[in-house]
Amino acid sequence: MASASLLKSSFLPKRSEWVAARPSAAQPMAVSFTVRAGSYSDELVKTAKSVASPGRGILAMDESNATCGKRLASIGLENTEANRQAYRTLLVAAPGLGQYISGAILFEETLYQSTTDGKKIVDVLVEQNIMPGIKVDKGLVPLVGSNNESWCQGLDGLASRCAAYYQQGARFAKWRTVVSIPNGPSALAVKEAAWGLARYAAIAQDNGLVPIVEPEILLDGEHGIERTFEVSQNVWAEVFFYLAENNVMFEGILLKPSMVTPGAECKEKATPEQVAEYTLKLLHRRIPPAVPGIMFLSGGQSEVEATQNLNAMNQSPNPWHVSFSYARALQNTCLKTWGGRQENVKAAQDALLTRAKANSLAQLGKYTGEGESAEAKEGMFVKGYSY
């Protein structure tokens, strides 16, 4: 069985023949390169499959130093490197975490850090069978000419950044851009978001990192679920078109969408079944089956909501792995339990494992919700949240 090989130039018509044959006005040819296989193809596919393995999902712990500071402040701790190190050590060293967690997204500082015991954090993760990932964007800034919307920067120097992160042990990357429904969204904001993601994805793959593609459609707003559905369809159509134009290999990417829900200030709430119905419909209309995994963000839902919604989406087989990439929805109770005190580390790790296991069950469609605490049910939506 022949395997797809890189395009040989010999079959292309010789330039002299082709030039002679065409009319005098210059006609641009469609791109003549093959979908770039690249040197990392096989590894990218393997990495993506490993992250998208049954019963597992991603622990997002890539809060910037400023945002991590907010987390620490909420339990009365100062935003020092030592405190950030202590917190991240707690998370990655939770025993058996790798049973439920297939990947962990890190912030740059953490990728180069060691645990309080002096062991490299990436090594701890690999030992836990957890792929290390790295946030590679450089944050959101105002988008000129838009309706007070944002764009995500980070393409400058991205190639060398990714190469360095790969050397340090990262195997997947993450880039989060946002789309705001109350602000339109404007066609400009959607185009910039989609194009930025596509360019980032191509560069990441070229440097050995599986790109997580994340256009977060913010929860803020009073709109109903149909409006979210409509905007999501537009955004994902554009994202996939530009990914294709940039010759990104779909078998080596992961998606991180927001679920299709009503806006946070919409008077009508939606049940997990409704969220699942709309979200699955979106996925079926926009996501080709070559994409191995769809890892949802929690974006302000409570820990339990995020788990219930994921569970509802996994009640029948899907053509892609449908899972989680949660930050707050995995860390909230854990953080509160820790409170910054060494003697609480084990209890905090247990809290993390509890949430990880719940979401693992949800990925398998087997979550029942027995025994969930009140803390876990508290919503975490913050209006105008910037992260």
Partner 1 sequence: MATAKLSAPASQWAIGGRNPADLRRSTLLPAASPRRVAAAPIRAGSYSDELVQTAKSIASPGRGILAIDESNATCGKRLASIGLDNTEANRQAYRQLLLTTGGLGEYISGAILFEETLYQSTTDGKKFVDCLRHENIMPGIKVDKGLVPLPGSNNESWCQGLDGLASRCAEYYKQGARFAKWRTVVSVPNGPSALAVKEASWGLARYAAIAQDNGLVPIVEPEILLDGDHPIERTLEVAEKVWAEVFFYLAENNVMFEGILLKPSMVTPGAEHKEKASPETIAKFTLTMLKRRVPPAVPGIMFLSGGQSEVEATLNLNAMNQSPNPWHVSFSYARALQNSVLKTWQGRPESVEAAQKALLVRARANSLAQLGRYSAEGEGEEAKTGMFQKGYTY
Residue 17 makes contact with partner 1 by CB under 8 A: no
The answer to whether residue 384 forms part of the interface with partner 1 (CB under 8 A) is no
Our finding on whether 240 is near partner 1 (CB under 8 A) is yes
Residue 358, φ and ψ in degrees, nearest 5: -60, -45
Residue 127 φ/ψ region, left for φ over 0, alpha for ψ in the -120 to 50 degree band, beta for the rest: alpha
Q: Is residue 245 close enough to count as binding partner 1 by CB under 8 A?
A: yes
Q: How far apart are CA 94 and CA 90, in angstroms?
A: 6
- Smallest CA-to-CA distance from 171 within 352, 67, 45 is with 45
Return the number of the residue (267 or 370) whose C-beta is nearest partner 1. Answer: 267
Q: 160 and 115 in contact (C-beta within 8 Å)?
A: no
CB of 263 to partner 1, least distance (A): 8
Which of these, 291, 208, 204, lies nearest to 246 by C-alpha position? 204
Minimum CB–partner distance for residue 99 and partner 1 (Å): 29
Report if residue 246 touches partner 1, rule: CB under 8 A. no
Set 63, 149, 192, 214: catalytic member: 214
**Residue from 16, 24, 27, 316 binding partner 1 (CB under 8 A):** 27
* Calpha distance 72→78 (Å, rounded): 6
Size of the site for partner 1 (CB under 8 A): 70
256 is catalytic: yes
Instruction: Centre a 10 Å sphere on the Cβ of residue 16 and count the other Cβ atoms it contains.
Output: 8
Query: Among 155, 164, 266, 345, which residue sits at the site for partner 1 (rule: CB under 8 A)?
Result: 266
The β-bridge partners of 325 are 58
Of the two residues 24 and 156, which places its CB atom closer to partner 1 in the complex? 24
Does residue 229 belong to the site contacting partner 1 (CB under 8 A)?
Answer: yes
- Tell me how many degrees the CA angle 285-190-201 measures, rounded to the nearest 5: 75
Dihedral, CA atoms, 158, 162, 165, 166, nearest 10 degrees?
-170
Segment 87 to 146, residues that bind partner 1, using CB under 8 A: 145-146
C-beta of 143 vs 310, nearer to partner 1: 143
Q: Is 369 in the site for partner 1 (CB under 8 A)?
A: no
* Catalytic, out of 149, 192, 256, 303: 256
Q: Kindly state the smallest distance separating residue 48's Cβ from partner 1, in Å.
A: 14
| 241 touches partner 1 by CB under 8 A | yes
- DSSP, collapsed to helix, strand or coil, labels residue 321 as strand
Structure tokens at 382: 């913050």
Q: E strand or H helix at 328, and its extent? A: helix 328-338
Tell me whether residue 49 or residue 119 sits nearer to partner 1 (CB atom).
Answer: 49
Site for partner 1 in 269-288 (CB under 8 A): 271, 273-274, 277-278, 281, 284-288
Catalytic residue check, 383: no
Instruction: Using CB under 8 A, pick the residue from 31, 76, 142, 343 that binds partner 1.
Output: 31
Out of 132, 208, 221, 300, the only residue in the binding site for partner 1 (CB under 8 A) is 221
In total, the chain counts a number of residues equal to 387
Sign of CA dihedral 81, 87, 91, 92: positive
Q: Which is nearer to partner 1, 118 or 145 (CB)?
A: 145
Which residues in 168-207 contact partner 1 (CB under 8 A)? 182-188, 190
Q: 368 by DSSP, 3-state: which?
A: coil
Residue 343 near residue 73 (C-beta atoms within 8 A)? no
Burial class (CB in 10 A: 0-12, 13-18, 19+), 83: middle
CB-CB neighbours of 363 under 10 Å: 27
CA gap 370, 260 in Å, rounded: 25
The least CB distance from residue 311 to partner 1, in Å, is 15
Binding footprint of partner 1 on the chain (CB under 8 A) = 1-2, 4-5, 7-8, 11, 13, 21-23, 25, 27-31, 33-35, 145-148, 182-188, 190, 221-227, 229-231, 233-234, 237-238, 240-241, 244-245, 250-251, 263, 265-267, 271, 273-274, 277-278, 281, 284-290, 319
Q: List active site positions.
A: 214, 256
